[in-house]
Structure 1
Amino acid sequence: MNIKPLADRVVVKMVEAEETTKSGIILAGSAKEKPQVAEIIAVGPGGLVDGKEVKMYLSAGQKVLLSKYAGTEVKIDGVEYTILRQSDVLAVVE
């Protein structure tokens, strides 16, 4: 199944949280933080949103930094994705 976001929406897949710290300590599942880095899977076409022209400047394949609880989580074919507005993306990770 393919996901095609509408307007200024972006579909992302969260990058897995680190299971060990830099010093080598293995973290329990409850000690891991919710990941904030995601990979963009699909980008909407932009266009008029709330009467304003929105240009999409993100593209599929980029890694981005998100707000902690931004977007709507969906599960398709056993894979979890998050759909959010382009404005909920805080930064591009290079």
Structure 2
Amino acid sequence: MKLVPLTDRVVLKQLEAEETTASGIVLPGAAQEKPQEAEVIAVGPGGVVDGKEIVMQVKEGQKVIYSKYAGTEVKLDGEEYIIVRQNDILAIVE
């Protein structure tokens, strides 16, 4: 099954959280901070949203940084995804 986002929505797959600190301390699952970096899985077509023309600026396969509390978490076929609006994406990681 494939997620197909509508209008200015983007489907992200969160990258794995760091399990050790820079000094080598192993963090338990509860202490790990949720990463804000993700890979773009699917991109909506853009279009007119609230009377403004939206042109999509991200592409599938790119790594991005998104707002900490943005989006809706979805579980599909055992995988977890986050669906966000394009304006919740803060930067593209190159």
Tell me if both proteins adopt one fold, taking TM over 0.5 as the criterion. yes
Mapped to 1, the partners of 2:71 and 2:13 lie a distance apart of 11
Aligned to 1:61: 61
CA deviation map 1:30-85 (0-9, x unaligned): 11101100000000000111111000010000000011110000000010000010
Aligned to 1:82: 82
Percent of residue pairs identical: 68
Match of 2:87, SS state, is helix
Mapped to 2, the partners of 1:67 and 1:21 lie a distance apart of 22
After TM superposition, give the deviation of residue 12 of structure 1 in Å: 0.2
- The alignment yields a C-alpha RMSD, in angstroms, of 0.7
Mapped to 1, the partners of 2:19 and 2:12 lie a distance apart of 21
Ranges in structure 2 where 5+ consecutive residues have no aligned partner: none
Q: TM-score, normalised by structure 2?
A: 0.97
Mapped to 1, the partners of 2:73 and 2:30 lie a distance apart of 20
Moved runs in structure 1, 4+ residues, more than 6 A?
none
Aligned to 1:92: 92
Aligned to 1:25: 25
Q: TM-score, normalised by structure 1?
A: 0.97
Aligned to 2:44: 44
